[in-house]
Amino acid sequence: MTISRTENGVYSIAPTPFTPDGSVDYTSIDRMVDFYTQAGVTGLTVLGVLGEAPKLTQEESVEIASRIITRADFPVIVGVSAPGFAAMKSLSGAVMDAGAAGVMIAPLRTLRTDDQITNYYRNASQAVGTDTPFVIQDFPLTFSVEMSVSVIARIANENANAVMLKHEDWPGLEKISALRALEEDGAMPRLSILCGNGGSFLDFETERGADGAMTGYCFPDTLVELVGLAGKGERDAAHDLFDAHLPLLRYEQQPGVGLAVRKYVFQRRGVLDYDAQRAPAGKLTDTARQEVDYLLDRLARRDSRAANLPK
């Protein structure tokens, strides 16, 4: 069971639960996987930036991924971005052996020219193995690498295992339209396009041709409902649901702070025992927690999923 070019729905970006002393919290991991199952997600993406992947040793990475893969009854994509191809190959091999559905590869921060970027993905494609489908992560805000539409088309044309795009360029709506137009013209193979950026443009991204979401917003159940409404063409209902969540979603999307918000809400929703991050940890101040509480209270008036959450 590996990911394909026609994947759609919601792949949640899973955080990595820790206990306050910094050890991996496997109890919460199991509960979290069950939560995602109940939320109806299509799949899960683990060990990305917001999975605190760089804070893990490779042994821990493989163990966490394996634990999640074993417990989940849906496909799991594993982030294998690394400063070198040897580490990428080693981690990719381990998690695919453990049953991963594919891997996700971010570009190295130093890449600039179109040729540098496409060369990198050719090498990465070889490193993970051409039988291993991979996700291109297009996230300039975090990685400082700008991929033009034509570069993404080149990557898709040159690597048969490039099957999915985690779309989080900003702005990004016209990029989706341009990629879909190239596909229709036969200029590039179809990519599954799942959108990140916290979901902050998901209302329109689905209308532009995206296949769904790949993001970690703390209400994945909402994202599932939202993508479902969009799929059925219920535009106003989709936007109503989106708009109700936008104030919190925007708050969660703050760089650096976002993961702390996400873990805090997951803790309030009973998914995680702790909102702890491994050091160096981002932390919410008391004021910030109260702001999140206030946003949840306001959201509860429109979405019962936010109601009656214990503090």
Q: What residues are designated binding site for pyruvate? A: 214
Residue (96 or 151) nearer to its own copies, CB = 151
Residue (3 or 80) nearer to its own copies, CB = 80
Report whether 263 contacts 15 (CB < 8 A): yes
Residue (6 or 285) nearer to its own copies, CB = 285
d(CA 63, CA 275): 21
Strands 134-138 and 212-215: unpaired
d(CA 122, CA 73): 31
| Helix 235-252 with 258-268: angle, nearest 10 deg | 110
Residue (28 or 197) nearer to its own copies, CB = 197
d(CA 241, CA 249): 12
Q: 């009656």: which residue's tokens?
A: 308
d(CA 52, CA 22): 12
Residue (68 or 124) nearer to its own copies, CB = 124
Footprint of its own copies (CB under 8 A): 53-58, 60, 82-87, 90, 109-110, 112-116, 119, 123, 146-148, 150-151, 170-171, 173-174, 177, 200-201, 203-204, 208, 239, 242-243, 246-247, 250, 254-257, 278-280, 285, 287-288, 291, 294, 298
For residue 261 the two structure tokens come to: 């918000």
CB of 132 to its own copies, least distance (A): 18
Q: Tell me the one-letter amino acid at 150.
A: S
Report whether 12 contacts 40 (CB < 8 A): no
Contacts of 181 (CB under 8 A, 6+ apart): none
Run of H or E residues at 36: helix 26-39
d(CA 19, CA 157): 44
CB of 57 to its own copies, least distance (A): 5
Residue (9 or 216) nearer to its own copies, CB = 216
Strands 43-46 and 102-105: unpaired
Cα dihedral 51, 250, 151, 54, rounded to 10, equals -20
CB of 257 to its own copies, least distance (A): 5
Residue (47 or 135) nearer to its own copies, CB = 47
CB of 14 to its own copies, least distance (A): 18
CB of 41 to its own copies, least distance (A): 24
CB of 295 to its own copies, least distance (A): 9
Binding annotation: 214
CB of 55 to its own copies, least distance (A): 5
Collapsed DSSP state (helix, strand, coil) of residue 212: strand
